[in-house]
């Protein structure tokens, strides 16, 4: 896999996240009853980051949850002899909450579909919205994001790689090409 281009620097990512945080506050008329749920792996630091920004702008920190959607997937792209399932930690009642589902890349929409199933199994949120850092197209399901950091037209042979502290050692978004 080789690097084709840098789609976002750490600074650009930071600006996009600040904008998304403002949009979330505007759309939900504040931060009351707001919950951010990150999808493992990189949706989790994204949700944390957005929660911090909402707190900075509104003085109220939304509750944050982590969602592992492995048990809800229909594609199981990572076929391994020993599949790894991570913990889901949603330490609040989702009932009646305004939930913003956070993920790094929106691609086929299958992860979002699985995440929606996982969330509604926990209760009945008032509303579920969807925030992504990068929308790269190629949807296979009728799913769209409410908040998008950057729209990036890609080919299927490309891989969008999001790097987020603390999962990675720096912030940034890169476009890679699969060899051959």
Partner 1 sequence: MMATVDIEIPTPARERKRNLLDFADWSVAEVQALFETADVMAQVLTRTIKKVPALQGFTVGTLFFEDSTRTRLSFERAARAQSADVISFAAGGSSLSKGESLKDTLQTIDQMQADLYVVRHPAAGAPSQIARWTDAAIVNAGDGRRAHPTQALLDAYTFRQRFPGFDDFRGKRLAIVGDVMHSRVARSNVELWRKLGGEVVLCGPPTLLPPQVAPGVHRSHRLAEALEGAHAVMTLRLQHERMASSLLPSLAEYVARYQLTERALAGAHPEALVMHPGPLNRDVEIATEIADGPRSVIHAQVANGVPVRMAVLYTLLVGKR
By C-beta, is 64 or 113 nearer to partner 1?
113
Of 9-17, 26-34, 54-62, 113-121: span binding partner 1 (CB under 8 A): 113-121
In angstroms, the Cα distances linking 55 to 35, 49, 77 are 12, 10, 36
Least distance from C-beta 97 to partner 1, angstroms?
15
In this chain, which of 20, 51, 145, 162 binds partner 1, going by CB under 8 A? 162
In this chain, which of 57, 121, 144, 151 binds partner 1, going by CB under 8 A? 121
Q: Is 117 near partner 1 (CB under 8 A)?
A: yes
Q: Is 136 near partner 1 (CB under 8 A)?
A: yes
In this chain, which of 51, 98, 104, 128 binds partner 1, going by CB under 8 A? 104
Contact positions with partner 1 (CB under 8 A) in 30-89: 39-43, 68-72, 75-88
Contacting positions for partner 1 (CB under 8 A) = 39-43, 68-72, 75-88, 103-105, 107, 111, 117-118, 121-123, 136, 156-157, 159-162, 178
């Amino acid at each position: 896999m080789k690097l084709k281009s840098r789609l976002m620097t750490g600074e650009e990512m930071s600006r996009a996240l600040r904008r998304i945080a403002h949009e979330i506050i505007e759309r939900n008329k504040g931060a009351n009853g707001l919950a951010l749920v990150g999808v493992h792996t990189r949706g989790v630091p994204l949700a944390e980051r957005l929660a911090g920004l909402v707190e900075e702008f509104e003085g109220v920190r939304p509750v944050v949850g982590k969602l592992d959607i492995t048990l809800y997937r229909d594609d199981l792209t990572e076929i391994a002899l020993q599949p790894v399932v991570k913990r889901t930690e949603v330490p609040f009642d989702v009932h009646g909450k305004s939930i913003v589902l956070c993920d790094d890349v929106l691609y086929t929409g299958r992860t979002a579909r699985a995440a929606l199933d996982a969330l509604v199994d926990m209760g009945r949120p008032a509303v579920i919205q969807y925030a992504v850092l990068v929308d790269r197209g190629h949807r296979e399901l009728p799913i769209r994001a409410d908040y998008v950091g950057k729209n990036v037209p890609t080919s299927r042979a490309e891989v969008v790689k999001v790097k987020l502290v603390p999962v990675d050692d720096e912030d940034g978004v890169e476009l890679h090409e699969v060899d051959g």
